[in-house]
């Protein structure tokens, strides 16, 4: 049998866990779009951003199946695990969400999930 302080601690922990679960479900339902800002070359690394435009160039890396897109002069990196089965082509309009990363001294957007790529 639990003592009164143990019972209170159990109730508090249960309420905290329930609150976190509800919060996570609400955040997931809002989606990436609610939290992303428009990409700018001045955006800090690690920031959730989006970019909209036309695919100017697409390169598929044979080792790993990664894709590298250029949209509005900005490099977008799509890891092979994220881009598997995607049908993207040069000239296609897209909106892409991802994190700002730096590769070889240049800022780029790295896509995290397949649902973060929207063909328009």
How many helices (H) and strands (E) the chain has is answered by: 2, 7
Pick the more confident residue, 96 or 23: 96
Ramachandran angles phi, psi of 81, nearest 5°: -65, -25
Looking at residue 108, its pLDDT comes to 96
d(C-alpha 2, C-alpha 4), whole Å: 7
Per the prediction, the chain carries an average pLDDT of 90
User: Minimal CA–CA distance to 109: which of 65, 52, 35?
Assistant: 52
**How crowded is residue 84: how many other Cβ atoms within 10 Å of its Cβ?**
11
Q: Which two tokens stand for residue 36?
A: 């992303």
pLDDT at 37: 92
Q: Convert the pLDDT of each residue in 13-46 to its tens digit.
A: 999 999 999 988 887 776 667 789 999 989 999 9
């Amino acid at each position: 049998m639990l003592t009164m302080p143990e019972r209170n601690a159990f109730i508090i922990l249960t309420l905290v866990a329930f609150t976190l679960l509800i919060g996570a479900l609400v955040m997931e339902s809002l989606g990436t779009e609610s939290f992303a800002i428009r990409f700018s070359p001045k955006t800090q690394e690690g920031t959730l951003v989006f970019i909209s435009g036309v695919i100017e160039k697409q390169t598929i890396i044979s080792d790993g199946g990664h894709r590298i897109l250029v949209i509005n002069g900005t490099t977008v990196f799509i890891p092979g695990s994220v881009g598997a089965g995607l049908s993207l082509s040069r000239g296609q309009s897209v909106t892409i969400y991802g994190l700002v990363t730096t590769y070889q001294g240049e800022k780029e957007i790295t896509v995290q999930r397949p649902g973060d790529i929207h063909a328009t």
